[in-house]
Amino acid sequence: MVNEFEIKKEICEVGRRMYEKGFVAANDGNISYRLGPGRFLCTPTLVSKGFLKPSDIAVVDDNGKQLEGARPRTSEIMLHLEIFHALPEINAVCHAHPPHATAFAVAGMEVPCCILPEVEIFLGQVPLAQYDTPGSKNFAETILPHLQNKANTILLANHGAVSCDNSLEKAYFHLETLDMYCRILLLSKQIGQIHQLPAPKVRELLDIKKRLGIADARLDGGQVAVLAGSDDFLRGFSMQAIAQHVADANGHGRGCGIAGATSQEGLPQPLPTARRIFPAVVAGRKLPGGEALGSSSSTVRSRAIEDETERLVQLITDKIITAVSA
Ligand SMILES: [Zn+2]
């Protein structure tokens, strides 16, 4: 028999941690807990999760109808109930907008897997649910296919993330692990290649996961597959290589020139942006396409074209200045 007041205090504590970690701004986010059949605790709407009191926590039934509590329950209760109804072993759900994880959700990019051992064990593959209007029944249902695939943490397109487990702390920790992981991915991509673990080593991690009794769809299928969507992130990262030349002492030339330094005009220039890439490596093999363009994003491609155009304009300007001053 759970102590309802203790669980309410625990919800307040998780809310405080989410707020202090910067996972929720203002009144964002919501937390819920299954007390028993047809009885769930949840956070109120329009109250900051950083400053909750046990008396703020609402009680709702199977359909989200409020049974107790002075403050109206969260507008996102259907998302939580969808999880409780689909997974009887789950008792706690946390929803927030952790910035690094939400960056992936906004970019429409699945988080790549098979990179950090702890993430493989405690999160596994993190799918990306389709976008729908928050609070709606359709929105709640976007996560259903992923729940059936045993995901404990799901990215919500253009929105945030939702996590679940049998205790409030575990559900909250999934959000922490996810955001730290996404932060590391974004940082590592800025300094070089991202290497995935080779398949036999991922298999060893899945064996540990099995011993710990943590579900993972890959344990059933026997497949240690890389998520297709993650290739977008792992594919080479385009370096901004804007061609530079130096200005003469008389100020001719423009860009990042250093007065007095030898002009680079006529010397080989840096390769256009689109070719200066770090190819992505997946389990020891280079990703196809990584060598060629550096990114699957049309935005980066068009930026590379702009850079190249800028370089040509500078070259022509230099020629004209040289001709005029000769
Ligand atoms: Zn939200």
Domain ranges within the chain, ordered by starting residue = 4-191, 235-325
C-alpha–C-alpha distance, residues 16 and 26, integer Å:
12
Residue 312, number of CB atoms within 10 A of its CB: 12
Residue 21, number of CB atoms within 10 A of its CB: 17
Q: How far is the CA of 132 from the centre of ligand 1 (A)?
A: 11
Q: How far is the CA of 47 from the centre of ligand 1 (A)?
A: 13
Q: Which helix (H) or strand (E) holds 153?
A: strand 153-156
Task: Please tell me which residue, 133 or 275, carries the higher pLDDT value.
Answer: 133
One-letter amino acid at 133 equals T
Q: How far is the CA of 25 from the centre of ligand 1 (A)?
A: 10
Q: How far is the CA of 288 from the centre of ligand 1 (A)?
A: 36
Q: How far is the CA of 29 from the centre of ligand 1 (A)?
A: 5
Q: What is the pLDDT of residue 300?
A: 54
Q: How far is the CA of 172 from the centre of ligand 1 (A)?
A: 15
Share of the chain above pLDDT 90, in %: 54
Q: How far is the CA of 201 from the centre of ligand 1 (A)?
A: 35
C-alpha–C-alpha distance, residues 45 and 260, integer Å:
63
Q: Model pTM? A: 0.72
Checking DSSP bridges between strand 237-238 and strand 160-165, what pairing results, if any?
A: unpaired
- Helix intervals (H) in 213-297: 217-221, 231-234
Q: How far is the CA of 299 from the centre of ligand 1 (A)?
A: 27
- Per-residue pLDDT for 316 more than 90? no
Q: How far is the CA of 48 from the centre of ligand 1 (A)?
A: 13
| Nearest alpha-carbon partner for 168 in 239, 95, 238, 99 | 95
- The string of pLDDT tens digits covering residues 286-313 is 555 443 333 344 555 566 666 667 777 7
Q: How far is the CA of 27 from the centre of ligand 1 (A)?
A: 10
Q: What is the pLDDT of residue 323?
A: 78
Mean pLDDT of the 122-140 span? 92
CATH classification code of 4-191: 3.40.225.10
Q: How far is the CA of 89 from the centre of ligand 1 (A)?
A: 24
Query: Six-digit token pair at 23?
Result: 């996972």
Distance of CA 15 to CAs 22, 35, 61, 118, 126, Å? 11, 18, 22, 24, 22
C-alpha–C-alpha distance, residues 221 and 234, integer Å:
24
Q: How far is the CA of 216 from the centre of ligand 1 (A)?
A: 26
| Nearest alpha-carbon partner for 231 in 178, 184, 288, 299 | 288
Q: What is the pLDDT of residue 26?
A: 97
Q: How far is the CA of 189 from the centre of ligand 1 (A)?
A: 27
Q: How far is the CA of 251 from the centre of ligand 1 (A)?
A: 53
Average pLDDT over all residues of the chain:
81
Contact criterion met (CB below 8 Å) for 162 and 77:
no
Under the banding of pLDDT at 50, 70 and 90, the label for residue 64 is very high
- The string of pLDDT tens digits covering residues 245-271 is 444 454 444 444 444 555 555 554 444
Span of 118-122, 137-141, 195-199, 220-224 with lowest mean pLDDT:
220-224
Residue 285 forms beta bridges with which residues?
A: 282
Q: What is the pLDDT of residue 199?
A: 83
* Rg of the chain, C-alpha, whole Å: 26
Q: How far is the CA of 61 from the centre of ligand 1 (A)?
A: 21
Q: How far is the CA of 160 from the centre of ligand 1 (A)?
A: 6
Q: How far is the CA of 164 from the centre of ligand 1 (A)?
A: 15
Mean pLDDT of the 17-41 span? 97
Q: How far is the CA of 30 from the centre of ligand 1 (A)?
A: 8
Task: Please tell me which residue, 192 or 158, carries the higher pLDDT value.
Answer: 158
Q: What is the pLDDT of residue 231?
A: 65
Task: Please tell me which residue, 186 or 259, carries the higher pLDDT value.
Answer: 186
Q: How far is the CA of 200 from the centre of ligand 1 (A)?
A: 37
Q: What is the pLDDT of residue 250?
A: 47
Residue 37, number of CB atoms within 10 A of its CB: 8
